[in-house]
């Protein structure tokens, strides 16, 4: 079964791609650049391939969907992991900072889901997992655009789940908290300590913590779970 994982260059996306390969999927991992896509292809080898996709660019989305149509087998698993932020206080946020983040983190993933749904409906099977963030529920100063986009993604997840449940297509969201990535590893000891004091588990999450949950939600064993947003944050925020 073919699975698409957006933003699979490194971090959580890379871990999810590896998890799905272990589960027997052929993985198409995306990157925003040709060099990134080539690196993904080299890493996945015969078990997958890399492809160029900028989820914030409609032309790029259309080109990617056209590329997928050249295959005899449509993807039945989609993990919307790619995303980005442009932080600024609301008083100073520029219109393009708002629209760019909303489009790339909400509109783009919707268009990608929409583009793959026909194949899932025909197969009467599909798994969609959207990567949200803990800030969608708790908020965060300087991230009104990002929090709004991720909150919208969670609402989109619930609505799509209701529309598609009868067709054996599940749609869920996973909301990571503070995860050990290249970005968090670059923080100072004081910054890391300030983060850890907010987490009852007393550690940052690993990319494998997130990938294991995504892998389960993409499996046949999760068929009666849909419309949910599952927090992966070590108890930092409970809902």
Domain residue limits, the chain? 2-232
Q: Name which CATH class applies to 2-232.
A: alpha beta
Per-residue confidence (pLDDT) for residue 192, from 0 to 100: 83
User: What is the Cα–Cα distance from 82 to 63, expressed in whole angstroms?
Assistant: 17
Residue 97 tokens read as 């900072």
Neighbouring C-beta atoms of residue 84, cutoff 10 Å? 14
Query: In the sheet where 2-5 sits, what is the strand order?
Result: 48-52, 26-31, 2-5, 77-80, 126-131, 169-176, 229-232
User: What is the Cα–Cα distance from 77 to 7, expressed in whole angstroms?
Assistant: 15
206 exposure class (CB count in 10 Å sphere: 0-12, 13-18, 19+) = middle
Active site residues: 146
* DSSP structural state of residue 218: T
Q: What share of the chain is helix, strand, coil (3-state, %, to 5)?
A: 50, 15, 35
SS3 71: coil
| Nearest C-alpha neighbor of 205 from the set 15, 7, 73, 2 | 15
| Residues constituting the chain | 239
User: What is the Cα–Cα distance from 217 to 173, expressed in whole angstroms?
Assistant: 9
User: What is the Cα–Cα distance from 174 to 177, expressed in whole angstroms?
Assistant: 10
**Could you list the mean pLDDT of each consecutive 10-residue stretch along the chain, which spans 239 residues?**
97 97 98 97 97 96 95 95 92 95 96 97 98 94 95 98 98 96 78 88 96 98 98 93
Pairing of strands 26-31, 229-232: unpaired
**pTM listed for this prediction:** 0.95
* DSSP structural state of residue 179: B
DSSP 6-27: SS-SSHHHHHHHHHHHHTT-EE
User: What is the Cα–Cα distance from 235 to 112, expressed in whole angstroms?
Assistant: 32
Angle between helices 11-22 and 34-44 in degrees, nearest 10: 30
| Nearest C-alpha neighbor of 126 from the set 116, 112, 111 | 116
């Amino acid at each position: 079964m073919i699975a698409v994982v957006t933003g699979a260059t490194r971090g959580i996306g890379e871990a999810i791609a590896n998890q799905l390969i272990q589960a027997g999927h052929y993985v198409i991992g995306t990157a925003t650049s040709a060099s990134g896509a080539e690196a993904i292809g080299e890493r996945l080898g015969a078990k997958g391939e890399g492809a160029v996709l900028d989820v914030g660019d409609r032309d790029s989305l259309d080109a990617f969907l056209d590329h997928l149509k050249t295959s005899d087998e449509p993807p039945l698993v989609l993990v919307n992991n790619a995303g980005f932020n442009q932080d600024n206080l609301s008083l100073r946020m520029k219109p393009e900072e708002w629209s760019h983040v909303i489009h790339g983190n909400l509109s783009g993933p919707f268009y990608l889901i929409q583009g793959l749904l026909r194949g899932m409906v025909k197969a009467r099977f599909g798994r969609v997992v959207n990567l949200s963030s803990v800030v969608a529920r708790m908020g965060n100063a300087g991230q009104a655009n990002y929090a709004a986009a991720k909150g919208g993604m969670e609402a989109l997840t619930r609505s799509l789940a209701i529309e598609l449940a009868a067709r054996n297509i599940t749609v869920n969201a996973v909301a990571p908290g503070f995860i050990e990535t290249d970005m968090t590893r670059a923080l100072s000891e004081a910054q890391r300590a300030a983060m850890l004091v907010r987490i009852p588990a007393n550690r940052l999450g690993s990319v494998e913590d997130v990938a294991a949950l995504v892998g389960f939600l993409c499996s046949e064993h999760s068929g009666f779970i849909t419309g949910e947003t599952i927090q992966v944050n070590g108890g930092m925020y409970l809902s």
